[in-house]
Structure 1
Amino acid sequence: MKQLILKKSLLFIALIAFLTFGCKDAPKEEVIEETVDVTAFSDADFNALWEKVDALWEQRDPALIHTVYADTFTRAATGGTSTSSEELTNELDAVGEAFPGMTLNLVSYNIGGNMASVIWTVDGNFTGEIAGLKGNGKPYSVKGITVLTIEDGKVVNDDSSWDTFAVFGQTGGYTIVEVESTETE
């Protein structure tokens, strides 16, 4: 009987030891969450920035570029891509020559974190010249969309799109012709 109690005691101790040391949780993998510090952009912040955007495009003054755009920025637009003040100044000059009285109008916007999507229109009379076409003074109104990425209150990325041909369609007197390819197969 003493042996039976001794065997049961040893089994009990072994069971306790097994449960104590054998059933420990496996080491957990360290989970590293990557966070990006995105400062939310408020309505007041957006409206203050948009006033500067409006002034830049209506006045087309290169001195205003750094009130809107960060030192390093990319602007991808229907007319091309600008990544420097010099390239953006060339774009401002081309717009000024073609549409000297253009006005920029905010239609609506949505903010998500440090990004804003903006619907806008430009209005004016086609009195300038673009790509060899002289304006005829007729009015136009074109709607566009812009997605801005903003850091420290300035634009670091500007993706803008609009229908350039709408100006010609609205001002009339221009024929868009399809040019046949001169390449041979």
Structure 2
Amino acid sequence: MASLKHAARRIIEEVYGKGRVEVLDELCHPGYVSHDPLTGDADIAGVKAYVRLLHACFPNLEARILAIYAEGDTVIIRWHMEGNLARRLLGVEPRGQHVTLEGLTVSEFEDGQLVEDTSEWDTFGYLRQLGLVKPLGSMAEAEEEERSGAFQE
């Protein structure tokens, strides 16, 4: 179990934190699949492409483990990542926006190899920090102002 925790830790710290995508070839089963709320389902090549994009857009990306749990062939990691946007992403021009993310990843192993992982993280908060969406409170206030006639000429 300790070796599975170590492998899952390496995915967060080395792959995501340092951009060392070659670690995936070492730790993952060839049929590996990742499930993510933003990118959807991806194989090893897709995860490598996503990590490269993250590091191109957030060259100072930091990743750290907040907690790690293991039971049988399943490892659950609670993680934190942050960095400053330095390249256009999702149509957003970089202005040095500081973005922080926290989430959970459930990793499933077979015979010591990672076969599948599912991540759940604050995707809405990420898009909000990039300026792509507004919090509901702001939208609700705007609707109320519109209904009250504040926007009428």
**Same fold, TM-score > 0.5, yes or no:** yes
Q: Scaled by the length of structure 2, what TM-score is found?
A: 0.74
Consecutive unaligned residues of structure 2, counting only runs of 5 or more, are 140-153
Q: Secondary structure at the match of 1:133?
A: coil
Partner of 2:74: 115
Distance 1:98 1:161, change over 3 A: farther
Shift of 1:114: 0.5
8 Å CA contact 1:107–1:119 kept in 2: the answer is yes
**Equivalent position of 2:151 in the other structure:** none
Q: RCO greater where, 1 or 2, for CA within 8 Å and sep 6 or more?
A: 2
Distance in 1 (alpha carbons) for counterparts of 2:120 and 2:112: 22
TM-score by length of 1: 0.63
The alpha-carbon distance between structure 1 residues 72 and 135, as it changes in their structure 2 partners (threshold 3 A), is same
- Aligned ranges 1:14-93 → 2 under 5 Å: 41-42=1-2, 44-78=3-37, 79-83=39-43, 85-93=44-52
Aligned residue in 2 for 1:169: 128
Task: Report which of the two structures shows the higher radius of gyration computed on alpha carbons.
Answer: 1
The amino acid that maps onto 1:176 is V
Give the drift of 1:145.
0.7
Instruction: Tell me the alpha carbon deviations over residues 8-55 of structure 1, each in whole angstroms, 9 at most, x when there is no partner.
Output: xxxxxxxxxxxxxxxxxxxxxxxxxxxxxxxxx23x541354135411
Q: Whole-Å Cα distance in 2 between the matches of residues 58 and 160 of structure 1?
A: 16
Amino acid at match of 2:33: T
Q: How many Å apart are 1:117 and its aligned residue?
A: 1.3
- Determine the C-alpha separation between the residues in 1 that align with 2:47 and 2:4: 23
Q: CA RMSD in A?
A: 2.3
Q: Following TM superposition, by how much is the alpha carbon of 1:134 offset from its aligned partner in structure 2, in angstroms?
A: 1.7
Higher-strand-fraction structure = 2
For 2:58, the equivalent position in structure 1 comes to 99
Percent sequence identity is: 18
- Listed as ranges, the gaps of 5+ residues in structure 1 are 1-40, 179-185
Q: How many residues align?
A: 134
